[in-house]
Each structure stands twice: as structure tokens, then as C-alpha cells.
Amino acid sequence: MLEKALQIFKVKEIRKKIFFVLLMLVIFRLMANIPIPGIDVQQLKTLFEGNQFLGMLNLFSGGGLKNVSIVMLGVGPYITASIIMQLMTMVFPRLEQIYKEEGEAGRQKFNSWTRWLTVPLAVMQTFAMVALFKSQGIFIELTIFNYVLVIVTATAGTIFLMWLGELITEKGLGNGVSLIIFAGIVSGLPTAIKQLMVTWDSTMVLTYLGFAAIAIFTIAAVVFITEGQRNIPISFAKRMRGGAQKGGKSFLPLRVNQAGVIPIIFAMSIMLFPGMIGNFLAGSSNATVARMAESIVNIFANQFFYGLAYFILVVLFTFFYTAVTFDPKNVSENLQRQGSFIPGIRPGTPTMEYLNKIVNRITLAGALFLGLVAVLPFIVQGITHIQTLTIGGTGILITVSVVVETMKQVEAQLVMRDYDKF
């Protein structure tokens, strides 16, 4: 490990990329700690301590929402816009054709539309969050001018982070948006450690040890599932090349978790809306509306109901997103055009049915795992009965995925330079 680290820093190009990424992340963290003026800090702290929804939303904002900073939305609207655009390719075939068949120019056009869609989404999300914070007394004084100023500032912050993420992707190592979320998650570790030290109870050592064991097991399981894949053997038909008959064998890798963390983001978005709308309408002057809003808030405040609904949505969205990203019919047609086949399976429709069966089986395992990861904080709190001890399964999944993907890119850079003993 030490030798590999030394090899990384011996390569000037890789070293410059690492320092560039670190500099961009430092800029992000500085912005995440610049609060919008006029905030009641104590009231804000109380609101986040008792609201699971806002805690999850804060995770994907990179920690900016908890401080009501100038980047309070983080890259959330950009992620939402990307998801919407991907779903639109299923509705509009022309959009899918632009993205998949027009090469780099088509992808640039698609990405440009995603950026434009981010702007109205950021405006709407900022408006909703400011309205929620206002109803909870977070803003000390909020005039019309200040309201507009907050919306413009938060939207500009999101656009800046979107640009920062694309800059990291283009000139650095790894996916910029993922690294920004990763930095926000990691930045919360010192606070969590400090809180644990303040609330330390020497009579609960066994509980702490059990918590540590669960955390280590969770990290190992996330790595195992993230790297897990089913290799489908592929044979190439023999053909004459250069006067010699050549064939070959390869494999088609099918990942256990093809959807990544996207299903959790989907499910979280669905789970957030009822609670946010309920909190927003709870102060309505109409007694019937206020009573219905209060009922919605109480239902989603129930930990068992929230956890069960969250788990089911994650499982369903995992199958949905896997179906979006992996098309067995398209894969089988490509294999047939290339003169390739799966041993023992006829080309065409039988190959498609075989791939569909395999994908459904491994997706079930990945979906159940993602569901457990999503509700892991509720399980751990239920076992330990300590609110300060919680394993953020989603945070661990994102962190491990980002670290693994970044390390793969670094290793690919080293392999390109033919390092010995690598």
C-alpha cells in the first residue's frame, strides 16, 4: 500500500490532479460554511435534530443545508435534473437517439439541457426550503427582498457547485459530483466523534463495541456487493484473419448492484415530499388542511412506517433503474451482430430471455441489500437505543463507491505508465 502511494506521487500528472481535486473540495467546504444572514442558529439546530427527512437531504447537499449556507442545496438539483433527463429518454425516443447515437456532440447537447433544467429545479427547491424554514421560525426577519436574495444566492451556489463538479470530472480524478457529496459526508466525521466523546458512557462499552462491529461488517458488505459481479461467458465465432482461423472467449460482466446509489436517491425524493408538504401546510389557517397536514407529518414521523416504506421504494426503484440502464434485448442483438453467443444458448430471443432471467436474479440480491443499507440507521438505533450512535448506510455506500471508483482510475493511470511491481 505504501509503495503504491509513493508511485502515485512520483507521477507529476497524477500528483497535480490529486492536488487540484483537493483544492476544489476545500473551496466547496469553505462555501458550505458561509451561512445566509438572518438565521436563528439554535432554532435551526433543534429542527435538524428532530427531522430525519432534513438529515437525509442534508447528506446529498454535502452538509450545506444544515448550515443554511450559500450552497444549501448542494448538487441535489443537478442530480434530480440528471435523473429526470434519463427518465425522459424512455418517454421520448428522439432524446435517447441524441444521447446514444450522435456521439460526443449528442452527449454534450444532452448535458447542456440537464444544466438548464437544473436552474428552475434549484429555484423551486430553494423556495420550498425557505418556506419550510420560515414556517419553523428559522429566519429572524424575511422581507420580500431578502426572500428573493436567498433564492438567487442558493440557486447561484448550486450552479457553481455543478460547474465545480464538472471541472473536477474533466481535469481531476473520479466523478466530480460524487466527490463533492463524499466530501460533505466525510466532513461530518469530526463532529460525530466529538459528539460520541461528549456523551460517552463507560457502562455501555459492550454496546459501543457492538456498534463498531456492525460498522466494520457494513463497510465490508458494501465493498463486497459494490465489487460483486456475475460473469456471463461469451464465445466468438471462428473467422479467418491473416490466413489463420481465429476465435475467442470473453465474458459479459453483470454487476450485482448496477443501479448504484440512484434508487436510494429516488426513494428519498419520494419520501421527502409528503413530510415537507405536511410541515409547510401545518400552519394553514384552514382547519381541515392543517389537520390533514398534521396527520401526514405524524404518519411519516413513525419510524416503523417510514423505514418499511423506504425499504420497499428502494427495492422497486432498483429494479426500475436497472431496467433503464440495462436492456437485455439490445445486448442480445449486439452479440448476434458481432457473431458472438453464450455457450448453450441460441442467439436472439433465447439469449435475451436468458440475460433477463440472470439480471432479475442478481438484481433481487442487490435491491434487498440497498434496501437494508437505506434503513440501517433505524435498525442500529433500534438495537443500541442510542440516538447519537447511528451508521449512515447511504453515506457508507456513497463513500465506499467513490473511494473504489477513484482508486480504479488512479490504478488505470499507473498501468498506462507501465510501472513495475504494480
The DSSP result for 144-175, as a single string, is: HHHHHHHHHHHHHHHHHHHHHHHHHHHHSSS-
Average pLDDT over residues 107-131: 85
Name the residue with cell 437505543. 385
Average pLDDT over residues 106-121: 86
**Cβ neighbour number for residue 248 with a 10 Å cutoff:** 11
The whole-angstrom separation of Cα 137 and Cα 47 is: 10
CA-CA-CA-CA dihedral for 40, 74, 24, 219, to nearest 10: 100
Question: Is pLDDT of 418 > 70?
Answer: no
Weakest mean pLDDT among 131-145, 301-315, 320-334: 131-145
Average pLDDT over residues 48-59: 64
Question: Is pLDDT of 51 > 80?
Answer: no
Q: Which three cell numbers stand for residue 264?
A: 436510494
Residue 38 binned pLDDT confidence (cut-offs 50, 70, 90): confident
Average pLDDT over residues 97-102: 72
Residue 422 binned pLDDT confidence (cut-offs 50, 70, 90): very low
Name the residue with cell 466529538. 194
Q: What is the pLDDT of residues 186-222, one digit of tens each?
A: 777 777 677 777 777 677 677 777 777 777 887 888 8
Question: Please, are residues 110 and 99 in contact by the beta-carbon 8 Å criterion?
Answer: yes
If we measure between CA atoms, which residue out of 422, 389, 421 comes closest to residue 407?
A: 422
Question: Is pLDDT of 278 > 80?
Answer: no
Helix (H), strand (E) at residue 18: helix 12-32
What strands lie across the sheet with 340-341, from one edge to the other?
A: 244-255, 229-241, 340-341
Average pLDDT over residues 72-81: 82
Q: Which three cell numbers stand for residue 8?
A: 502515485
Q: Give pTM, 2 decimals.
A: 0.74
List the domains of the chain with CATH numbers.
Answer: 1-187+403-422 (1.10.3370.10), 199-391 (1.10.3370.10)
Q: What is the pLDDT of residues 353-379, one digit of tens each?
A: 888 889 888 989 888 988 888 787 777
Q: What is the pLDDT of residue 242?
A: 53
If we measure between CA atoms, which residue out of 84, 89, 47, 82 comes closest to residue 67?
A: 47
Query: Which DSSP category does 204 fall into?
Result: G
SS (H, E, C) 21-78: HHHHHHHHHHHHCCECCCECHHHHHHHHHCCHHHHHHHHHCCCCCCCCECCCCCCHHH
The whole-angstrom separation of Cα 197 and Cα 191 is: 10
The whole-angstrom separation of Cα 191 and Cα 204 is: 21
Question: Please, are residues 236 and 339 in contact by the beta-carbon 8 Å criterion?
Answer: yes
- Identity at 132, one-letter amino acid code: L
- Rg for the chain, CA atoms, rounded: 24
Query: Which DSSP category does 242 fall into?
Result: T
Average pLDDT over residues 153-160: 89
Name the residue with cell 438572518. 38
